[in-house]
Amino acid sequence: MKRLGKFYSWEAYSDNIAIKKCDKSVFVSSGTAVPIGIRWFFGVDALNLGEKVNIELLYENKKYKARISKESIKTARTRLFWMADLSKKFHSIYHYGMNYPSLKFKKLSSMLYEIEMIDLEKVNYDGNGNFRSEIYDKEGKKKLIYTTKYERNKKNREKAIVLHGTKCMICGFDFEEKYGEYGKDFIEVHHIKPLSNMKNEEVINPETDLVCVCPNCHRMIHRKRDSVLSIEELKKIIKNNSVK
């Protein structure tokens, strides 16, 4: 019999929408129980003991094989099983102690169901088969971080600017030219040899060890922590990607 509402960890919202509230087993096993009250959703009300119905689950635009079957005489439970490839997908997003999302099933046909992981606390059901986001992810939580900070000498920075000027030595960007008086004298100073690579304090020569660069080029130099670009490498990248 077709009924809407909650049935253990499942809830039927409409003829074509049902949601399974997940627990650890969904992420570390290959299936989940289908209670009596939700069997109609999968069209298996009259499933006989030992009988199997093959279906497909559409997850992230890819189809996965699955089946629904009734187990032994002892339990007579109906269960939904999915294949190992989908199990690996689910297992990859499982983290111990996580707040488990819910698994939304949308019936596309009697043999095909689109599935999606959703957070029921962050969506509202509009009554027409759609779950709409009402809560946005938060930012701004304070977090205490311990790190190592390498001290820079202000005098070396000033000398580098006197020697090299305030035009980016990689791309040629000039802040005064672009922003007028507001951008005058603005530039960043980059250590050719990263301070983090120094085992001890070293004498820095502003003429040979420092370069003046714009923030864009500076960020690109340090974009990958394990592969800091040289000035010439970044110049080459810019040259190779310039519009001709």
Q: Are residues 56 and 163 in the same domain?
A: no
Q: Are residues 11 and 126 in the same domain?
A: yes
* Residue 149 maps to a domain: no
How many whole angstroms from its chain centre is CA 183? 36
Worst-scoring range by mean pLDDT, 71-80, 188-197, 229-238? 71-80
Instruction: Please choose, from the candidates 20, 11, 18, 15, the residue with its C-alpha nearest in 3D space to the C-alpha of residue 2.
Output: 15
* Residue 161 maps to a domain: yes
Model pTM above 0.85: no
Tell me which residue range forms the domain holding 120: 5-133
Residues 6+ apart with CB under 8 A from 156: 189, 204, 206, 210
In the prediction, which pLDDT does 135 show?
Answer: 44
242 pLDDT band, cuts 50/70/90, is: confident
Q: Are residues 165 and 203 in the same domain?
A: yes
**What CATH number did the domain enclosing 124 receive?**
2.40.330.10
* Residue 147 maps to a domain: no
Q: Are residues 40 and 128 in the same domain?
A: yes
* Residue 142 maps to a domain: no
pLDDT tens digit sequence for 136-185 = 556 666 665 554 444 567 888 899 999 999 999 999 999 999 999 999 99
Q: Are residues 10 and 129 in the same domain?
A: yes
Residue with tokens 């983290």: 95
In order, the DSSP letters of the chain are: ----EEETTEEE-SSSEEEEEP-HHHHHSSEEE--GGGGGGGT-TTPPTT-EEEEEEEETTEEEEEEEEE--TTT--EEEEE-HHHHHHHHHT--TT----EEEEEESSSSEEEEEEE-GGGEEE-SSS-EEE--PPP---------------HHHHHHHHHHH-SB-TTT--BHHHHHGGGGTT--EEEESS-GGG-SS-----HHHHEEEE-HHHHHHHTSSTT-PPPHHHHHHHHHHTS--
How many other C-beta atoms are found inside a 10 Å radius of the C-beta of residue 189? Answer: 18
Residues 6+ apart with CB under 8 A from 116: 59, 103, 104, 106
Q: What is the dihedral of CA 163, 169, 172, 177, to 10 degrees?
A: -30
pLDDT tens digit sequence for 63-82 = 999 999 987 655 568 999 99
Q: Are residues 111 and 194 in the same domain?
A: no
Residues 6+ apart with CB under 8 A from 62: none
